[in-house]
A and B are shown apart, each in its own frame.
Chain A
Amino acid sequence: MIKYILRRLVSMIVVLLVTIVVISTLMYFVPGDPALIMLGQSATKEAVAELHEKYHMDDPYLVKVGKYIGNLLHGDMGISFKSKTPVWDELMARFPVTLRITIGSTVIGLIIGVVTGIISAVKQYSVLDRILTAISLFGASAPSFWIAMMLVLLFSVQLGWLPATGSYSWKHWILPLFTLGLQCSAGIMRMTRSSMLEVIRQDYVRTARAKGQSEPKVIVNHALRNALIPILTTTGIKMCGYIGGSVLVETVFALPGIGKYILDSVSYQDYNVVQGGTVLICICCVIITFVVDMLYALVDPRIKGTYGSSRRVKKVKAKAAVEG
């Protein structure tokens, strides 16, 4: 198991480094002078030169990228051109909002998605299955900002039950979380249904039934457990998508998250923030992927087995070869 974790950890760091280099390279080629953005177009040449000197803006490419990675290790992402405060502090002030949206909506999506997916698979080709499948396809086809606006229209404008924008109390979070949660559940439901259908006719499920185990236990312990890997993968991908893509919901509900901050920074040409925000999102995604990989091993002992002691790996491989 330790070998498995170490291997994943090393590949995670490599992926992260390459991604940071790619993002830094992209940002290096952005046209326009950041000093002019900070000082305004009427700035004197001396002031511009001074700023270039102060923030090392004229460094060559390799030095710039190297310094960026070095500083990143200390939690230094440079300063925002607009507010002249450290990017890291600004991002950390907004990070909890994005994190709350991501985790909350994923939990809602998982609960609704897995339950409806199981129902749909167990009752395949029934009316209920068809209705659920159609709703989930609708959810996967609707733009999240449109769902958000429709929920606002229904629950805030028409019924007046929930506030439309802001983040002052728990009530403000219900609509944003359910917007993404419902959309997330559509994807998870489809994946749960198809992967449950794969395992539900397997011999070991039939054996479990033949042993006289109750139907809920057969579904949860024998079928669902074996169908869990694709569901986990989808959930991981969805979570990464929401860390980066919650900007749409943040825009509709006026929530001060990272996505909205990056979006505003693009229009101010505040590229240190765009770069920092993107790097932070990528770090989160790599961590999510790592956690999902760890969960694979937890859910499916066969995966853990292939990364065990070298003798055991040989045994597993030999067995696999025999089985063809």
Chain B
Amino acid sequence: MSIFRKKNAKKGPMAEVWRKLKKNKWAMVSLFIIIFLILVALFAPLLCPYDYALQDYEHVLEVPSWAHPFGTDNFGRDIFSRVIFGSRYTVLIGFGCITVSAVVGIALGLIAGYYKKLDGLIMRSIDIVIGMPAMTLLMCLIAVMGISLRNMCIALCITHIPSFARVTRAQVLTLKNQEFIEASVALGANKKRIMLKHILPNALAPNIIEYSLGAGGVVLWSASLSFIGMGVQSPTPEWGLLISEGRQYLRTAPHMAIIPGLTIILLTFVLNYLGDGLRDAMDPRLNK
């Protein structure tokens, strides 16, 4: 049998995507930056040169220097340490929320695509979430649940579920009529096995694009919500909140707002770039 197989055939579709992605130099750079930022978030306490909450009234609103690479804020706190420690919130909120959304969304999409009876109910509920502008829905949900970090995360998860559910459902609908599914039904596999062993692995690929782009979206939304005071509360050094704190000192110490903004842009930019790279790698029309 093996002589009829193509060289890459048994590695599956993901290996093919990875092979193409590796050729995209900038997408790989983006991937490394993302991994680097995750590591920074995980080891933040070891990397901070100062305590992120330490106030030093002799060095207030200082511009970037060797002692304070990103300068200091209105309480004399080291912005470099605050940005590094803040990555724990921003990066982990971004990946944490999008992971929860992905798991719930993929499960809903799988059920909606496989069980016709539940399809209408699930997809119409998802249409309601999509129908409202994201910011309005987020504000509405947080207004009902109360302003806190946990509630912001729940609201962010809810707003990002639909894209995963829709993508997965579309995949399942095309997959479930294919011969290999028919074959496993004929072999007597039960529904759970077909869904989890045969359909799910084949429906995952497009979700990876959603995951990368969605993580960038969550980072932006969480920063925005913290900026208007509906997310993380002061004195937590979340990046959106750091910009918000810098707003009052825009005239005297613009670095307070500029630097956290650039870090947010770096993170969302590489996530979006990686998402675009993945999309290109998975696009069959670009197969050359």
Which of B16-24, B53-61, B139-147 sits within the interface?
A: B139-147
Q: Which residues of B contact A150 (CB under 8 A)?
A: 258, 261
A173 within 8 A of B: no
Among B136, B229, B257, contact of A281 (Cβ-Cβ < 8 Å): B136
B79 shortest CB reach to chain A, Å:
15
**What are 16 A-B contacts defined by CB distance under 8 Å?**
A26-B140, A31-B146, A138-B265, A141-B220, A142-B265, A146-B261, A146-B264, A149-B247, A153-B254, A153-B257, A244-B136, A248-B227, A262-B139, A266-B147, A267-B229, A285-B133
Asked whether, in the complex, the Cβ of A143 is within 8 Å of the Cβ of B224, the reply is yes
Seed contacts A266-B230, A282-B132; 5 additional CB < 8 Å A-B pairs: A19-B131, A149-B243, A266-B143, A282-B136, A286-B131
A47 within 8 A of B: no
A154 shortest CB reach to chain B, Å:
10
A145 nearest CB neighbor, chain B only: B227
Which B residues are closer than 8 A to A by beta carbons?
A: 124, 127-128, 131-137, 139-144, 146-147, 216, 220, 223-224, 227-230, 240, 243, 246-247, 250-251, 254, 257-258, 261, 264-265, 268-269, 271-273, 276
Among B139, B223, B250, contact of A152 (Cβ-Cβ < 8 Å): B250
- Complex Cα distance, B251 from A152, in Å, reads 10
- Complex Cα distance, B136 from A285, in Å, reads 11
Given contacts A143-B224, A241-B135, contact A27 B144 (CB under 8 A): yes
Q: Which residues of B contact A248 (CB under 8 A)?
A: 135, 224, 227-228
A31 nearest CB neighbor, chain B only: B146
B62 shortest CB reach to chain A, Å:
18
Main secondary structure of the interface of B (DSSP, over half): helix
Most buried by B among A19, A137, A145, A267: A145
- Complex Cα distance, B121 from A18, in Å, reads 13
Asked whether, in the complex, the Cβ of A245 is within 8 Å of the Cβ of B135, the reply is yes
B257 nearest CB neighbor, chain A only: A149
A227 shortest CB reach to chain B, Å:
16
A252 within 8 A of B: yes
Asked whether, in the complex, the Cβ of B131 is within 8 Å of the Cβ of A149, the reply is no
Most buried by B among A18, A137, A146, A263: A146
- Complex Cα distance, B227 from A241, in Å, reads 18
- Complex Cα distance, B230 from A150, in Å, reads 22
- Complex Cα distance, B136 from A259, in Å, reads 8
- Complex Cα distance, B160 from A104, in Å, reads 28
- Complex Cα distance, B143 from A27, in Å, reads 9
Contact bitstring A241-262, B, C-beta under 8 A = 1, else 0: 1011101100110000001001
B129 nearest CB neighbor, chain A only: A22
Which A residues are closer than 8 A to B by beta carbons?
A: 15, 18-19, 22-23, 26-27, 29-31, 137-138, 140-146, 149-150, 152-153, 157, 240-241, 243-245, 247-248, 251-252, 259, 262-263, 266-267, 271, 274, 278, 281-282, 285-286
- Complex Cα distance, B134 from A19, in Å, reads 14
A28 nearest CB neighbor, chain B only: B144
Asked whether, in the complex, the Cβ of A247 is within 8 Å of the Cβ of B228, the reply is yes
- Complex Cα distance, B140 from A19, in Å, reads 12
Closest 7 CB pairs of A and B: A244-B133, A244-B136, A245-B135, A146-B261, A141-B268, A141-B269, A266-B143
Given contacts A282-B131, A285-B132, contact A251 B254 (CB under 8 A): no
- Complex Cα distance, B158 from A26, in Å, reads 14
- Complex Cα distance, B135 from A262, in Å, reads 11
Asked whether, in the complex, the Cβ of A23 is within 8 Å of the Cβ of B257, the reply is no
Among A30, A149, A157, A281, contact of B144 (Cβ-Cβ < 8 Å): A30
- Complex Cα distance, B137 from A243, in Å, reads 12
Among B133, B227, B273, contact of A243 (Cβ-Cβ < 8 Å): B133
Among A153, A243, A263, contact of B230 (Cβ-Cβ < 8 Å): A263
Q: Which residues of A contact B261 (CB under 8 A)?
A: 142-143, 146, 149-150
- Complex Cα distance, B264 from A243, in Å, reads 24
Asked whether, in the complex, the Cβ of B140 is within 8 Å of the Cβ of A141, the reply is no
Given contacts A157-B250, A252-B247, A266-B142, contact A244 B227 (CB under 8 A): no
- Complex Cα distance, B134 from A275, in Å, reads 15
A48 shortest CB reach to chain B, Å:
22
Asked whether, in the complex, the Cβ of B136 is within 8 Å of the Cβ of A278, the reply is yes
Asked whether, in the complex, the Cβ of B257 is within 8 Å of the Cβ of A146, the reply is yes
Asked whether, in the complex, the Cβ of B139 is within 8 Å of the Cβ of A263, the reply is yes
Among B128, B144, B227, B276, contact of A137 (Cβ-Cβ < 8 Å): B276
